Amino acid sequence: MNISELGENEVNQYGEHVVLIYEDKEITNVQMGKCAKKLGNALKKLGVKRGDRVIIQMPNCPEVLQCFQAVWRIGAVVVPINFLVGEEETTYIYEDSGAKVIISSLDFLPKVEAGRLKVSAIEHVILINKEVPPNCLSYWKLVNENSDELEIEKTEDNDLAALIYTAGTTGRPKGVMHTHLSLHYNAKMQKESLESMNFPLGLTSVSILPLCHSYGIATMNSGSLLGAGKGKTILLNTFDVEKIFEAIDKYKANVLAAVPTMYVYMLLYPNPKKYDFSSMKYWVCGSAPLSLETWKNFKEKFGFEIIEGWGLTEAGANNSVNPFSGLKKVGSIGKPMKGTDIRIVDDDDNEVPQGTEGEIVIRGPMIMKGYWNKPEETARILKDGWLHTGDVGYVDSDGYFFITDRKKDLIIKGGENISPREVEEVIFSHPKVSEAAAIGIKDEVYGEDIKAFVVLKPGQTATENEIIEYCVERLKRFKSPKTVQFMTALPKSLVGKVLKRELRKLG
């Protein structure tokens, strides 16, 4: 199959209807499809063939969605890049992926050109702006000059469809290889899981997840199956609490998928009663652990329960979720999606009893093919069909999974394993604290000790000793931070995951 068939089938089944609203402009599925077909024809004329890689490097906009469909339609491979990463990392991805074409915008041209000069494989740079420099091609000129008749290239299930580079905690980013089959199954499993929870189809969603990230891509693909001929997406190109709330109110949106940091900033919004949220049914959270305090405070302030799920790029991003109706367990990542196997194992890959901590491993047709050009790293993480996530957790008697930490983040103090998340949850509960993170630092006595990084709420002040003593009262001295560093913001990835590798540089 070819993953672009999802969009084609949606048009064939339901006909033309509005699927996207961007900057107050309504766009139909047929209009999106025509642009994608025209771009696909243009790319073929530029020499892009089945299996060739195409870089997409820009913020959310309709053109990004069209690019995905165009590239997939001709059997080529999408390489979405975080447009905010630095020149060095961008150039590395250009070279490692072997991409022939880059599609971007003038805003990022200096970074693109710097990489282009160093990577000989790049043949063309396409910009979505109306006016472009002589050495670049105009996206809209290419679209307007080409036919909207384009058959979908027949691809094998195991053919590569997307190469998604992870930020990585150490070393260079790794290219996660997803096939047409793995992407299709991820979308299909989301639909079947949500249907089993009585999740209604055809809802209006606000989309703020970056489409260069697997979470955003998975949500985009599942949208083709969940729209039911009337679903639409309000696409935002940047995270702005005011714009999110305006969109919910104006378009009577029903769904929002976000990450914990976004919910933290929503809680800081001073006047939530300014907007009408009565249409909202589902506030979904993933990508990083959601603190208990954030969940409680959001329910208290807005009157809604955040529905937490979990996934990772190597497994298509959406792998488990709390029930949309029924028992939700705060702090849990819920139950596995339909067709997904999850279990907890020890260091020898033996399954451990309920309630016992171990590494979370996952299996299913949505698992990646492997890491691009990295067979040894692939072999380390994929064993006998099971993906070793590096997340530590347990499963309870009701089948709900809980993540307690990352294997690499555990702090070993005096031979005892201490979970940074346990420390962070306590600091989060401090009334003056907005964000917190804990890491291990070298210590001559214990080998490692604990350092906390804290962001205070606007207008608040606190001392290092105040935070430490607050932890001592709740954790005892051994698990409490030795030092506290106050910051204006924690370093984060594009989707709000705290970058502890950057904090360790400060440790």
**Do residues 217 and 164 touch, judged by C-beta distance below 8 A?**
yes
Q: Measure the CA angle with vertex 217, ends 33 and 331; round to 5°.
A: 145
Q: What is the pLDDT of residues 44-89, one digit of tens each?
A: 999 999 999 999 999 999 999 999 999 999 999 999 998 888 888 8
User: Does the residue 307 lie in any domain?
Assistant: no
User: Does the residue 219 lie in any domain?
Assistant: no
Q: How many alpha carbons fall within 13 Å on the CB side of residue 128?
A: 18
User: Does the residue 281 lie in any domain?
Assistant: no
Which CATH number belongs to the domain containing residue 87 in this structure? 3.40.50.12780
Q: Tell me which of 133, 162, 178 is where a domain ends.
A: 178
**pLDDT confidence of 286, banded at 50, 70, 90?**
confident
Listed in sequence order, the DSSP H helices in 336-418 are: 375-381
Which of these, 210, 229, 206, lies nearest to 218 by C-alpha position?
A: 210
**pLDDT > 60? residue 293:** yes
Q: Tell me which of 149, 178, 207 is where a domain ends.
A: 178
DSSP assignment of 238-299 equals S--HHHHHHHHHHHT--EEEE-HHHHHHHHT-S-GGGS--TT--EEEE-SSPPPHHHHHHHH
What average pLDDT does this structure show over 3-28?
94
End-to-end, the C-alpha distance of the chain in Å comes to 49
**pLDDT > 90? residue 204:** yes
Range of 56's domain?
Answer: 5-13+27-178
User: Does the residue 318 lie in any domain?
Assistant: no
**pLDDT > 80? residue 415:** no
**pLDDT > 60? residue 491:** yes
% of the chain beyond a pLDDT of 90:
76
The pLDDT assigned to 171 comes to 63
Q: What is the pLDDT of residues 349-377, one digit of tens each?
A: 999 999 999 999 999 999 999 999 999 99
Cα–chain-centroid distance for residue 15?
30
User: Does the residue 273 lie in any domain?
Assistant: no
**Do residues 204 and 252 touch, judged by C-beta distance below 8 A?**
yes
DSSP 349: S
**pLDDT > 60? residue 170:** no
What average pLDDT does this structure show over 145-171?
89
Q: What count of residues does the chain have?
A: 507
**pLDDT > 70? residue 479:** yes
Which of these, 239, 231, 192, 191, lies nearest to 213 by C-alpha position?
A: 239
Report which secondary-structure segment, H or E, holds 163.
strand 160-165
User: Does the residue 492 lie in any domain?
Assistant: yes
Please give the mean pLDDT across all residues of the chain.
93
Cα–chain-centroid distance for residue 190?
15
| CA separation for the pair 127, 489 (Å, rounded) | 33
**pLDDT confidence of 168, banded at 50, 70, 90?**
low
Q: What is the pLDDT of residues 172-191, one digit of tens each?
A: 889 999 999 999 999 999 88
User: Does the residue 184 lie in any domain?
Assistant: no
What is the maximum span of the chain, computed from C-alpha positions, in angstroms? 71
Q: Residue 322, SS3?
A: coil
Q: What is the pLDDT of residues 219-278, one digit of tens each?
A: 888 888 887 778 899 999 989 999 999 999 999 999 999 988 899 999 999 988 899 999
Which CATH number belongs to the domain containing residue 481 in this structure? 3.30.300.30
Amino acid occupying residue 406? R
Q: What is the pLDDT of residues 377-413, one digit of tens each?
A: 999 999 999 999 999 999 999 999 999 888 888 898 8
User: Does the residue 60 lie in any domain?
Assistant: yes
Q: Tell me which of 163, 178, 193 is where a domain ends.
A: 178
> How many structural domains comprise the chain?
2
Question: Poorest-confidence range of 33-37, 122-126, 229-233?
Answer: 229-233
Question: Poorest-confidence range of 61-75, 129-143, 211-225?
Answer: 211-225
